[in-house]
Structure 1
């Protein structure tokens, strides 16, 4: 047990030392993307933490709060080197990649949807101001999107029932010019140009619970 205790103490020291090394690398990297020293220090810290966690479990049946798995340093360096080579390569794609998405929803309860949107609006309104009421289903959905910074995940709420959707990836000659379209133009920004090249289309189908399938049959 004495040897095991000493090995555990040494493993803990490696965690502490690798944490200091990682912090120093992060500070020296100063926010640079794909910094080699930061990545290597991260791998060392990860592996030291994993080793300590395993030794603690073997010695005392206890674990740390770090949910990590060992990383092969050689494989990590190979992957990092490949990513760095791609980042530094001078081969810009000649076209612009355009992703167009449509997702439809059924509204089981208009009143419930509006209540959810008004709650989201109140959260984003200063306490001293009285938020304007949400008028209509479309405004409610827009309010939920705005409260979620425009992400469609903001619409994953019980008040909206997802239907089928579609995602299309295309190569286009130039990026969209929003100033060229009126704010109420529903077609222009999404209309493919004659020289656009559709790469692929992904059809989205909402997940259906097993009991719901049984009821549908």
Structure 2
């Protein structure tokens, strides 16, 4: 009979070797996107991890934290792609490269300025733990900016009770060139969002905030 312990040891050795090869490929790629060697090492690491997990389950009814599915190496390139230039990297770059611009506007009502300032000052204190007495937040605009900075620029940072969302919209356009931030002054509120005559508006999505249950209920 086959020794399950020996099989498991061998399978674990293959996982470790695959992980080392994957790390070496990642280091050699130095951040290149869609590197073929990294992809092939990833597939090997995925499959050796999957095989070890299966053996562990069969032998002892235990599992690893690796939730992976086996990848057929012969189908991997077709399913997931190897790189921008294909498997051999010899395909020319797309001559019709495109730039997409997404413009968004979302408005909010401020029910309590004092409450919003308190939340923003708490966010500022959390962002500057070394300062005993950070500068106070002055005004609702600075408060909203502080919340955005604390949330790494994500609009999800504004999903707080101190701000009531109003209507908003998102516009997607095909543009000739990406934005040049150096071409606009810091206080230019219109220029960066002004469409170019050559831009093509693909579509617009209107956003409406959800009403509370009591607002949806029929009036007597």
Of residues 134, 149, 170, the one that matches 1:167 is 170
**Are the equivalent residues in 2 in contact too, given 1:34–1:84 (CA < 8 A)?**
no
Counterparts of 1:41-120 in structure 2, within 5 Å, are 41-78=41-78, 79-81=80-82, 83-85=84-86, 89-93=92-96, 96-120=99-123
Q: Which runs of 4+ in 1 moved over 6 A?
A: none
SS of residue matched to 1:81: coil
Which secondary structure does the structure 2 equivalent of 1:84 belong to? coil
Q: Of Structure 1 and Structure 2, which has the larger fraction of its residues in helix?
A: 1
Q: Which runs of structure 2 are paired with 1:1-217 in the superposition (5 Å)?
A: 3-78=3-78, 79-81=80-82, 83-85=84-86, 89-93=92-96, 96-125=99-128, 127-128=130-131, 130-178=133-181, 181=184, 183-206=186-209, 212-213=212-213, 216-217=216-217
Q: Work out the CA distance in 2 between the residues paired with 1:30 and 1:145.
A: 32
How many residue pairs end up in the alignment? 214
- Helix, strand or coil for the counterpart of 1:133? coil
Q: Work out the CA distance in 2 between the residues paired with 1:213 and 1:74.
A: 54
User: TM-score, normalized by length of structure 1?
Assistant: 0.79
* Cα separation, partners in 2 of 1:106 and 1:33, compared to 1, 3 Å: same
Comparing 175-184 and 44-53, the one that deviates more: 175-184
Distance 2:35 2:183 in 1: 40
| Consecutive unaligned residues in structure 1, runs of 5 or more | none
Post-superposition CA distance 1:41-74 (Å, at most 9, x none): 1111111112212221222222212222222322
RMSD: 3.1
Deviation at 1:107, TM superposition (A): 3.4
Structure 1 range deviating more: 134-143 or 96-105: 96-105
Structure 2 CA distance, aligned partners of 1:214 and 1:84?
Answer: 56
Cα separation, partners in 2 of 1:207 and 1:16, compared to 1, 3 Å: farther
